[in-house]
Structure 1
Amino acid sequence: MSDKRNDYQWKTLDKDLNRLSSLEQATMHVSRPLVGLGVGMIFIALAALFAGASTSGSPETWIMAAAAAFGAYMALNIGANDVANNMGPAVGAKALSMVGAIAIAAVCESAGALLAGGDVVSTISKGIVDPAAVETKAVFIGAMLAALLSAALWVNIATWVGAPVSTTHSVVGGVMGAGVAAAGLTAVNWPTMGAIAASWVISPLLGGVIAAALLALIKAKVIYTEDKIAAARRWVPILIGLMAAAFGAYLALKGLKRIVKIDMGLALMIGVAVGVAAWAAAVPLIRRQSEGMENRNRSLKALFGMPLVLSAALLSFAHGANDVANAVGPLAAIVHAMEAGGFAAKVAIPVWVMVIGAFGISFGLILFGPKLIRMVGAQITKLNPMRAYCVALSAAATVIVASWLGLPVSSTHIAVGGVFGVGFFREWHAERRVRMLNKNRPAKRLAEGERRRRKLVRRSHFMTIVAAWVITVPATALLSGVLYFALEAALF
């Protein structure tokens, strides 16, 4: 009898412990976002304290502290939203784990920002506002503060919704809205704004078309051949050479401008040299890697894994070098205005400001980046290493083409457009194969539910992302205008 009572007590204790364990797991799951929020707030507070201490005793200490806090907040949001475009395809293709992607991106983004980030930045964000309209110190600082905070808030909202948006367009909209609030509609350079608006269409279309064309090439020359391994030995080194050439030119053009000035012609020559060297190195490497592989598609995926990881790392380095100014550009402009007492069309970025941008992007990626990485990599369309490779190569190639044509484009729109391009091409190709297989059979009309099930691109994400792209500039402009009047009343 005593043994039965003891067994019952142990079973009861086990049930109670299981309940406590479940409660503990649920508590940790709920509190995880709060940890990220807390760390982010500490980073913002430290940035504000450092900036305030550097101007201690000055009547403008609070303005400098607020500017540093807004810049740190913007950098966190860029890390949470923008970096997903570089790492999402590699994670979705399972070439990288989430932890590996975050580690590589954090290191490469910081290295790109600190080693090759631009040392000067345009204070009026690509010339969209007439400098004469914001020539007084108070008006200029108020406009930059409003632009920075509105852009950060919008990117934060977009991340929460699950939409990758352009941080460049967010800053542009913020500067435009603050300029209109400060000096009226005539202060804005509307032809420049028209070119930026055109990039909403140009960027994703270019990225999508190039990614789809690359996937079509791989399917025709490698996947749908009788001897897949022999075809891969011939074509994968060529594709690696193309990737190396595109990234060589891309990094020379966008990532090394702080070290040396490089024009388009020289960048293309560097790209060709790097591409030929990469092709020569890849030929024996792919031959050794493919020895003993079975003649099926699963074997081909392994050959694209390492090139995909390298492309993700290079994209992150170039993003850190090129886009960190979006986070800290307005902050650098405010620092210059407070120290020099006036407005300048271009200003140098102080080292401490660049550090805030670099570390903020890394913290934002680590704390909040996985949500958008999963969405871009796995929730728009199904990616494997070959498809993800097409997205990565199209991102670099599209930037080169756009720079050559002088078109203002968004790296976010290009990368996400590449994912959509791959998905829509897969839909078209699958339907075409079905039609060819059934061309001698009577046509069978599918039910609407079955037609939706066979779609390879999630339409809900497509509509959400496109809507977010379209309203980014108007939303940040409106928000910035409201914030300008609020900040003007509070700080000046």
Structure 2
Amino acid sequence: MTKVETAALVQGQVFARIGLSVLFLVAVWIFTSTQGLTGQGLVVSPFVVAAAVIGGYMAMNIGANDVANNVGPAVGSKALTLTGAIIIAAIFEAGGALIAGGDVVSTIKSGIIDPSLMPDAATFMTSMMAALLAAALWLNLATYLGAPVSTTHAIVGGVMGAGIAATGFGAVNWPTMSKIAASWVISPLMGGIIAAAFLYFLKVNVLHKVDKIKAAEKWVPLVVAVMAGAFTMYIMNKGIKHLYKSSWTEIVIAGVVVYALAWFASRARVRVRSKNMENRRKSVNALFVMPLIISAALLSFAHGANDVANAVGPLAAIVSAADSGQIVTKAGIPLWVMLVGAVGISIGLMLFGPRLIKTVGQEITKLNPVRAFCVALSAAITVIIASALGLPVSSTHIAVGGVFGVGFLREYLAHRETKRNRLSAIAAMAVGTTEGLHAVENATPELQHMPKIHSEQKARNRMLVRRQHAWTIAAAWIITVPLAAALAAGLYFIMMALGVKP
């Protein structure tokens, strides 16, 4: 009876979440239908209303899947509770979208297809609807499978597939697509290497020192200041680019100034807090909790400012084409369209986000505040480096790559430590000293069963990063663009066959 009651409760919660999401989409439908009465000169057709509902569905899926990368490490390290993370992310995601999301959006994401090859505005609008729906459906499936994927890549695949279906393969900008394909490797690799490098630095210079508190007083202010400077540059480059277009000179100067201010402030804070701290790793971890919470908020703000375009870009294209009767590559975003995207992301996060938050923060590898801090820092630095070099990268791939980088570094260090201890015991046995004999006596059971012990230790090391999640996520990343493209092409042909046109 207890199992039946528990199962009923779980199913009830699932149906409640689905019901609330349907209510949101109904509200979008009603809200969009009234926009023709506002005197803005826009006649809202049933096609535009349907597109708005699909845009709201896409926004919810972005909130359910993509936002987990911003707050997952903070939740996994227990710097934030799941509820606290959802509240912070929802506020800053919506704030980023509404404050810094911009009033103009590119209707053809990343210049994937040539809109001039579209025969007419109706074909263009139909292809954009197919692209939007295909991306939303794939994100929904990826969330169900527990795989954090790039929403940018999903919408890129959707636009590409719908564009090919509408105009042929010649419409696709293949050099741009090759760069996006390269980002599948570049993004996680850069994020993983940078996160692992910072974690190794902190382990060597702080966590493995005899006097950890004294080492923390020296090095923690430095890395916190690096994070403050990096996030300043990140926000100026990505978070407020629609409000103010900063030059790289301005970005670098602002980063250096904030770095200096943060170093002085952090040094004073660490000295005050370290006076009554015990000389333990747990004490050092506590110094990174507040910077980690701030980083989660800033990542969410920047994500809302940038990725809301993934939800409202095609929708804005449809609205603009319906209003003007022409194909546009840059479309103004009506306030109601931006509201659909911002509110949809927040609702999707609150209703369905916990699943991916747990995957990123807890199920790939075990995180503590220091490790999660390195992941957040790598996300900001990687985006800055990639932007400076003109490389297309995915924030999702960077964050998840950072988590894997931290986990694989832990595996490597654990394996190296085990190997060092085993070799020390063998060397001591060969020397035959008093200390060596004592080491041999303690090590003999292990040496007698070395193949078995080595196998068991190898298995334990491997569990530091769960391979099942690694393969699932990697596979989802690889198939995102082609699957979304195939789905969008299929939906476009179905719409045309059923006569679904503006």
Q: Are the structure 2 counterparts of residues 259 and 85 from structure 1 closer, same or farther at C-alpha, using a change threshold of 3 Å?
A: same
Alpha-carbon contact 2:75-2:85 (below 8 Å) kept: yes
Q: Distance in 1 between matches of 2:399 and 2:355?
A: 17
2:51 pairs with one of 48, 51, 67: 67
- Provide the residue aligned with 2:430 in structure 1: none
AA of the residue aligned to 2:424: N
- Provide the residue aligned with 2:23 in structure 1: 42
Look up the SS of the partner of 1:440 in the other structure: helix
- Provide the residue aligned with 2:126 in structure 1: 142
- Provide the residue aligned with 1:251 in structure 2: 235
Q: Distance in 1 between matches of 2:399 and 2:410?
A: 17
Q: Distance in 1 between matches of 2:130 and 2:169?
A: 17
Look up the SS of the partner of 1:259 in the other structure: coil
Q: Distance in 2 between matches of 1:422 and 1:453?
A: 16
- Provide the residue aligned with 2:327 in structure 1: 343
Alpha-carbon shift at residue 452 of structure 1 (Å) = 2.2
Written as runs of structure 1 = structure 2, the 5 A alignment for 1:352-363 is: 352-363=336-347
AA of the residue aligned to 1:378: Q
Q: Is residue 163 of structure 1 aligned with residue 147 of structure 2? A: yes
- Provide the residue aligned with 2:451 in structure 1: 445
Q: Distance in 1 between matches of 2:139 and 2:414?
A: 36
Q: Distance in 1 between matches of 2:308 and 2:451?
A: 52
Q: Is residue 470 of structure 1 aligned with residue 478 of structure 2? A: yes
Alpha-carbon shift at residue 258 of structure 1 (Å) = 2.2
Per-residue CA distance 1:230-249 (angstroms, 9 max, x = gap)? 11011111111001001000
Alpha-carbon contact 1:391-1:418 (below 8 Å) kept: yes
Q: Distance in 1 between matches of 2:465 and 2:9?
A: 34
Alpha-carbon contact 2:180-2:393 (below 8 Å) kept: yes
Look up the SS of the partner of 1:95 in the other structure: coil
Per-residue CA distance 1:367-414 (angstroms, 9 max, x = gap)? 000000001000000000000000000000000000001001100000
Alpha-carbon contact 2:61-2:140 (below 8 Å) kept: yes
Q: In angstroms, what is the RMSD of aligned CA positions?
A: 1.6
Written as runs of structure 1 = structure 2, the 5 A alignment for 1:168-207 is: 168-207=152-191
Per-residue CA distance 1:295-350 (angstroms, 9 max, x = gap)? 11111111111111111111111111111111111001110000111111111111
AA of the residue aligned to 2:461: R
Per-residue CA distance 1:8-34 (angstroms, 9 max, x = gap)? xxxxxxxxxxx6x87655432221011
Q: Distance in 2 between matches of 1:128 and 1:177?
A: 10
Look up the SS of the partner of 1:328 in the other structure: helix
Q: Distance in 2 between matches of 1:120 and 1:59?
A: 20
1:491 pairs with one of 472, 488, 500: 500
Q: Distance in 2 between matches of 1:44 and 1:244?
A: 39
Q: Is residue 151 of structure 1 aligned with residue 135 of structure 2? A: yes
1:109 pairs with one of 93, 112, 130: 93
Gaps of at least 5 residues in structure 1 are 1-18
AA of the residue aligned to 1:41: V
Q: Is residue 305 of structure 1 aligned with residue 304 of structure 2? A: no
Q: Is residue 454 of structure 1 aligned with residue 435 of structure 2? A: no
1:428 pairs with one of 396, 406, 412: 412
AA of the residue aligned to 1:479: L
Larger deviation, residues 417-426 vs 58-67 = 58-67
Per-residue CA distance 1:217-267 (angstroms, 9 max, x = gap)? 001110111210011011111111001001000001111122211122211
AA of the residue aligned to 1:451: K
Q: Are the structure 2 counterparts of residues 342 and 282 from structure 1 closer, same or farther at C-alpha, using a change threshold of 3 Å?
A: same
Q: Are the structure 2 counterparts of residues 461 and 138 from structure 1 closer, same or farther at C-alpha, using a change threshold of 3 Å?
A: same
Alpha-carbon contact 2:184-2:397 (below 8 Å) kept: yes
- Provide the residue aligned with 1:270 in structure 2: 254
Alpha-carbon shift at residue 118 of structure 1 (Å) = 2.5
TM-score, length-scaled by structure 2: 0.92
AA of the residue aligned to 1:468: A
Per-residue CA distance 1:138-176 (angstroms, 9 max, x = gap)? 111011000100000000000000000000000000000
Q: Distance in 1 between matches of 2:298 and 2:119?
A: 39
Q: Distance in 2 between matches of 1:158 and 1:462?
A: 14
Larger deviation, residues 203-212 vs 54-63 = 54-63
Q: Distance in 2 between matches of 1:34 and 1:416?
A: 29
Written as runs of structure 1 = structure 2, the 5 A alignment for 1:8-27 is: 25-27=6-8
Look up the SS of the partner of 1:129 in the other structure: coil
- Provide the residue aligned with 2:435 in structure 1: none
Q: Distance in 1 between matches of 2:148 and 2:328?
A: 32
Alpha-carbon shift at residue 58 of structure 1 (Å) = 8.8
2:357 pairs with one of 373, 376, 379: 373
- Provide the residue aligned with 2:277 in structure 1: 293
Look up the SS of the partner of 1:295 in the other structure: coil
Look up the SS of the partner of 1:347 in the other structure: strand
Q: Distance in 1 between matches of 2:172 and 2:286?
A: 51
Larger deviation, residues 259-268 vs 276-285 = 259-268
Q: Distance in 1 between matches of 2:66 and 2:105?
A: 19
- Provide the residue aligned with 1:402 in structure 2: 386
Q: Are the structure 2 counterparts of residues 176 and 22 from structure 1 closer, same or farther at C-alpha, using a change threshold of 3 Å?
A: closer
Alpha-carbon contact 1:135-1:343 (below 8 Å) kept: no
Alpha-carbon contact 1:135-1:342 (below 8 Å) kept: no
Alpha-carbon shift at residue 487 of structure 1 (Å) = 1.8
Alpha-carbon contact 1:394-1:418 (below 8 Å) kept: yes
Q: Are the structure 2 counterparts of residues 99 and 437 from structure 1 closer, same or farther at C-alpha, using a change threshold of 3 Å?
A: same
Alpha-carbon shift at residue 280 of structure 1 (Å) = 1.2
Larger deviation, residues 71-80 vs 251-260 = 251-260
Q: Identity over the aligned pairs, expressed in percent? A: 55
Alpha-carbon shift at residue 131 of structure 1 (Å) = 1.6
Per-residue CA distance 1:201-227 (angstroms, 9 max, x = gap)? 000000000000000100111011121
- Provide the residue aligned with 1:130 in structure 2: 114
Alpha-carbon contact 1:133-1:179 (below 8 Å) kept: no
Alpha-carbon contact 2:35-2:44 (below 8 Å) kept: no
Q: Distance in 2 between matches of 1:437 and 1:268?
A: 46
Alpha-carbon contact 2:43-2:323 (below 8 Å) kept: no
